[in-house]
Amino acid sequence: MELYIYDTIGKDFFGEGVTADYVRKELDKAKKNEQIVVRINSPGGDVWEGEAIYNMLTRRGNIKVCIDALAASAASFVAMSGDEIEIAENARFMIHESWTMGYGHKRELAKTIQRLGAIDNSIAAKYSARAGGKRDATTFLANMENETWFSAQEAVDAGLADKIGQKLKVKAAVREPMLKDQFSVAACWRNMPASLLGEPEGAEPSDAAKAAVAALDLRVRIEAKHVNAVVFAPRRSELETRLRAMR
């Protein structure tokens, strides 16, 4: 059977997305020992929904993952559940540091940093284990900090996929409202290629597409009063920098 993860991981701000409960119900429909082909075209989403989906698929076994267009953020480590991972020739694979929203004094924010670091280490370990020695976890952590977008060949070279499949005509899973909403999954992306906005193949991205990508390069905003602060969408490294400045 085929299982499609063609949306945000977990419910997004529009009430849409692929949840762990949905995946569980779909897996319950499969016959015993039947191969599950998981097709991914997702910008990622909630890390804990992603962990639950990853664990369910790993326990189930006999999983073939096909990255049809985009496996970004949480969707990238969900893909690591595959016994075989195939990425379409024109697909992309993106990894980055976990991010969150937090508030409180510096001690509370320091705890948040520790939790983000633990999540990043866990995700990097998944990539490293799947890569089979091609890259270690430290290298993947550096890739995550830089928000790295892999082409199909680069993903195979890094050990994140086993082989390149045929070129597919599948639109990238980035809906227009996601580009306008600062609380969307895509709001934390810094290096997204303009071509993933669904421009026709081989065409130069329009000015509107380029402007939308530029708008995604959001900066962390801090509003501090006394010892309290509100932090919007920080990565661990960015939060550490701003926390040091508050001391």
Report the C-alpha gap between 168 and 16 in whole angstroms: 24
Report residue 133's pLDDT band, with 50, 70 and 90 as the boundaries: confident
pLDDT, tens only, 79-132: 999 999 999 998 999 999 998 877 888 888 899 889 999 999 999 999 999 999
Which one-letter DSSP state was computed for residue 18? B
Across 6-105, where does the E strand assignment appear?
Answer: 36-42, 63-72, 84-88, 92-95, 102-104
pLDDT, tens only, 183-194: 555 556 666 666
pTM: 0.74
Report the C-alpha gap between 220 and 147 in whole angstroms: 16
**Mean pLDDT, rounded, for 54-61:** 96
**Mean pLDDT, rounded, for 201-210:** 48
3-class SS shares of the chain: helix, strand, coil, % to 5? 45, 20, 35
